[in-house]
Structure 1
């Protein structure tokens, strides 16, 4: 029998009144329990198995941002601090031995590469002084054939709720949801899909079983064929998984690009989609209000300021339907971030293309970006000739922001630069390695000053080739470095005897 909530409350009230007649209840005034902010003690990040074949090479790089460990190894009871710590990359094969790489100290990086051969999912684990600031990124280059393109992704901790704005299941489109479970116990997952026509039933995406230390792939063409634009919501019912969405386009035998769809911030009444480079076409903005009809106001944040695009400043969304708008003409060939403010929570992202309209091309994504409440890190930026790395920073605050950028080579050598980001603007900088090398990789740490709030960012890597420029972007997210720990408190609700 289901009892109405008011009946339960009323019954509870009677018990309290009768009890108070026999034994007075004394409740002391309570202050909020004290808390302490401590360095994290363990971090574990997960990459799905890297894209690889004879024409594609993927590199997974682990890096630890320095200076975030604090009193590493300190106990919560005030014990002595220790400098001990360890970090490593390890493959997660279905059976057999794991391939491992140890990161020796903060500021250093290590890699695992496919070298054209398959590689299982990769897990990065940091403990003690090497847990704060641990970063894991994947970078993929397909130089020719139908899989030509650049792809990059930030590998994250297994979680329970993820949103992706992108992918499709039309002709020539291959979009795949990958669910990786690094835990020993299994997980159960719902993959919920939204398209321009509304929420899609996709029963094969409900209650997906992901075995412990296993991985499951779901093609969006199998779940819901013939959909041009998706928003994907991955919701874990039990356990935890690291979700990812890959996307590839072809026109017959002509490659049209490949990319990982970046994670987006969840539904919110204010979303910043950051960032879209200049001189790309077309640019399509996708917005979804999952639950309710919504009104969304659109503003573009450019190098020179913020404005509402004519004819696109206000959108009316129907609940559950993905609205796709071509905003190419409004960008005026300049780099921008897109601000979405709404009366109901929405998610948003953008897709843009580089290259010929019908020939060989490339595409990339921008997603709803989190505010940088602390340092962000990017690992494994290639140094080889031709690569260009640009940092896009958007400041939605009311004053100029100061951001410190430090780059590290794989041996830990570094160089630091301080950048200024004007209020209400999106600015772009070229990022170069700290030393004059022609090969290898470098990593980057982006740290807003303590007074510089409302900063969001993205790194975009491009590679010009004879058949057009390839590009891949990664949204900046704060690294996991601190945790708020409440102190244990006695129960102050006592009875007077």
Structure 2
């Protein structure tokens, strides 16, 4: 990519394995760089529609919603982008507390390599988890994928998005409409029990449900509860307010297929997702939530055509969301393109927003669904302030 607005792709077909890939920008191309991994298999051994945002390497990650029971396989993927080795601990919390998993401690991820850890090896039989990835030395990129199985056949798969770090106010956006369970998992990583109050934010406004409005989470444990009865098949965002810091995620069932959401925090910066497919059987919905005050955003599409690097924004539209409500916006993809990027930009004076998407493809084997909350684009960095220290002597 050589110019702002440029786009590129790396493709793999027929089970081809790709090495770990690092994307980075320099100079004017660094602000707003976004990358995504997207995969599709409508009826093969790896059946599913799966996508995840590529995140910067860091020293800590949270993922909520994996499991290690019959019919599920959750894998933790660790990538070290640096030349030196990283030492990583994978800490797993379940319904009964922190799970003793010595095989997840002191994992060595060699420089410029990848390490895959299966959850059923670390914590067999656990039904609900909050996975904390801690790099004791170095830094890593981390992601988690989840497969739904029937016997030896894979009937659905997706990536579990990264959850916001522990906080006393967390939102779970991108809850899809329709039938099926909506399993909310909440973890209280610490020495105190959590009392969590639940508020539903929907298109018609927000409300406190008559049932399941309060969830008690024991210290250092995970509680999973199906929220489908209070959501009444509507698209929504959940607001979770706790007396102690929590992390959260949701596993959503759509027929045999599953999709995930994760705890997120509101922002006023632009956000984007790339690699959105253009297919006749595919529908894209973008959920924009204004949890605090009225928000106005602009949605623009950047089409990708092979051989053309720079993209001109198209399909620009403005959406206003009342305070304490969300909008479930249907996106019409550009025509004559391979794929596209969607960008959501809060306008001047707008309140903070949460953005997520749901991509649905109709299939004769059963519909496929994927999506996740959008993190804000990294457009600014904080430069450390240098001050003179009189205690340091120079020679």
Category of TM-score, reference length = shorter chain: over 0.9
How far did residue 489 of structure 1 move? 3.8
Provide Cα deviations, 1:343-374, integer angstroms capped at 9, x if missing partner. 0101111111111xxxxx10001111232331
Aligned counterpart, 1:391: 286
Q: Shift of residue 280 of structure 1? A: 3.1
Measured after TM superposition, the shift of residue 490 of structure 1 is: 4.1
Q: 1:253 to 1:145 in 2, by over 3 A?
A: farther
Q: 1:406 aligns with which of 284, 292, 300?
A: 300
Q: Report the RMSD for the aligned CA atoms in angstroms.
A: 1.6
* CA–CA distance in structure 1, aligned partners of residues 351 and 390 of structure 2: 38
1:339 corresponds to which residue? 239
Residue aligning to 1:460: 358
**Structure 1 residues 489, 463: CA separation in 2 closer, same or farther (over 3 Å shift)?**
same
SS for the counterpart of 2:340 is strand
SS in 1 for 2:230: helix
Distance 2:386 2:186 in 1: 43
Measure how far apart 1:472 and its partner are. Answer: 0.6
CA contact (8 A) 1:371 1:477 kept: no
Give the alignment of 1:51-450 within 5 angstroms: 103-116=1-14, 117-291=16-190, 292-355=192-255, 361-398=256-293, 400-410=294-304, 411=308, 412-415=311-314, 416-433=316-333, 435-437=334-336, 439-450=337-348
TM-superposed CA distance for 1:414, in Å, is 1.6
- 8 Å contact from structure 2 (residues 74, 147) kept in 1: yes
Structure 1 counterpart SS, 2:103: helix
SS at match of 1:129: helix
Alpha-carbon distance in 2 for matches of 1:267, 1:487: 27
- How far apart are residue 175 of structure 1 and its match? 0.6
Displacement of 1:146 in angstroms is: 3.8
1:390, distance to aligned residue in structure 2 (A)? 1.0
The Cα of 1:255 is off from its aligned counterpart by 3.6
The question of whether the paired residues in 1 share the 8 Å contact of 2:211 and 2:230 is answered with no
SS at match of 1:340: strand
Q: TM-score, normalised by structure 2?
A: 0.94
Deviations 1:4-45 (A, max 9, x none): xxxxxxxxxxxxxxxxxxxxxxxxxxxxxxxxxxxxxxxxxx
SS at match of 2:135: strand
Name the CA distance, whole Å, in 2 between partners of 1:228 and 1:469. Answer: 25
Question: 1:417 Cα shift?
Answer: 1.4
The answer (yes or no) to whether the contact 2:249–2:263 under 8 Å persists in 1 is: yes
Q: CA deviation at 1:492?
A: 8.2
Greater CA drift, 233-242 or 309-318: 309-318
CA distance in 1 between partners of 2:350 and 2:155 (Å): 39
1:176-228 deviations in Å (ceiling 9; x for gaps): 00100000111011100011121101110001100110111100011110111
Secondary structure of the residue aligned to 2:98 is strand
Distance in 2, Cα, partners of 1:474 & 1:283: 14
CA distance in 2, matches of 1:187, 1:259: 27
CA contact (8 A) 1:458 1:474 kept: yes
Q: Distance in 2 between matches of 1:256 and 1:300?
A: 30
Hey, what's the Cα distance between the residues in 1 that align with 2:388 and 2:39? 53
In structure 2, the CA distance between the partners of 1:333 and 1:393, relative to structure 1 (3 Å rule), is same
**What is the CA deviation profile of residues 461-493 of structure 1, one whole-angstrom value per residue up to 9, with x for unaligned ones?**
110112221111121111111123355444589
Gaps of 5+ in 1: 1-102, 356-360
Higher Rg: 1
Which deviates more from structure 2 when the two are superposed, residues 142-151 or residues 154-163? 142-151
1:249-281: per-residue Cα shift (whole Å, max 9, x none)? 111155431010000001110000012011131
Distance 2:388 2:152 in 1: 69
Length-normalised TM-score, structure 1: 0.75
Q: Is the 8 A contact 1:390 1:461 kept in 2?
A: yes
Is contact 2:42–2:365 with CA below 8 Å preserved after alignment?
no
Residue correspondence of structure 1 range 455-494 to structure 2 within 5 A: 455-490=353-388
Task: Give the conservation status (yes or no) of the 8 Å contact 1:141–1:151.
Answer: yes
- 5+ residue gaps, structure 2, are none
> Residue 165 of structure 1 contacts residue 231 of structure 1 at CA under 8 Å; is this kept in 2?
yes
Query: Matched residues in 1 for 2:109 and 2:320: separation?
Result: 45
Deviations 1:367-419 (A, max 9, x none): 11232331111111111221111111111113x21101111112403222111
Cα distance between partner residues in 2 of 1:138 and 1:367: 17
